[in-house]
Amino acid sequence: MRLSTLPRPSGLGRDEYAVCPPNLRECILAMEDCCEEAHEAQQLLRNGTFDLPRMQKVLESQRVFLLIDEGTVRKYKTDLADEIEPQINELIDRAEQGLKALRRKEALVQNKVEAARAMRSRAATAPTANKREERRMQILSKQRQRLEQEVMVLESDILALQHKRPVRS
C-alpha cells in the first residue's frame, strides 16, 4: 500500500488508522502514478535539453557541402572553356603581332648598327683632316654604342616573349 506524496494540511489531525473508501484509494493511487510519470517525463525532458545552447552553436556553424554529379561538372567546364577561349585566342594574336613588331624593330636597329660599323671602318682607314671630322666620329661612335645597347635590350625582350608565348593546340 502506498501513501500519498502530496503534502497534507498541517492543521488537520492525522489518523493513520482511518479507513478510506475503495474508490478514493484508487483515485489517490492513480493520481500518484500520474505524478510519478509526469516527474519522470520532466526528468527525461531536462536530460534531453540541458545542452541545447551548445547544440544550437554547433548546428549554426555547421557547413553544408553540395555534391554534384560528373555530368554537371563536365557541362560547366565546357561552358567555361567556350566563354574564355575567344579571349585567350585574342591575347595570343596580340602577342604574336607584338613579337612581329619587335622583330621588325630589331632588324632596323641591326641595319643601323651595321651602317655605323661600316662608317667606322671607313673612317678608321681615312686620316681625319680636321677637328670637325673628329667630332663627327665621336658622335657616331656614341650613337653606335647606344644602338648596340638598344639591340641587346630588344634581343632580351624577344627572348622573354618567346619563353612566355603559350603553345597553341
Task: State phi, psi for 5 to the nearest 5 degrees.
Answer: -95, 0
Say which amino acid occupies 3.
Answer: L
Separation CA 37–CA 117 (nearest Å): 113
Within a 13 Å sphere around the CA of 133, how many CA atoms are in the beta-carbon half? 10
Count Cβ atoms within 10 A of the Cβ of residue 56 and give its class: 0-12 exposed, 13-18 middle, 19 or more buried.
exposed
Quick one: pLDDT band at residue 82, thresholds 50, 70, 90? Answer: very high
* DSSP conformational letter for 2: P
The pLDDT of residue 165 is 66
Percent of the chain whose predicted confidence (pLDDT) is above 70:
79
pLDDT in tens, 28-81: 889 999 999 999 999 988 887 888 888 788 777 666 667 888 899 899 999 999
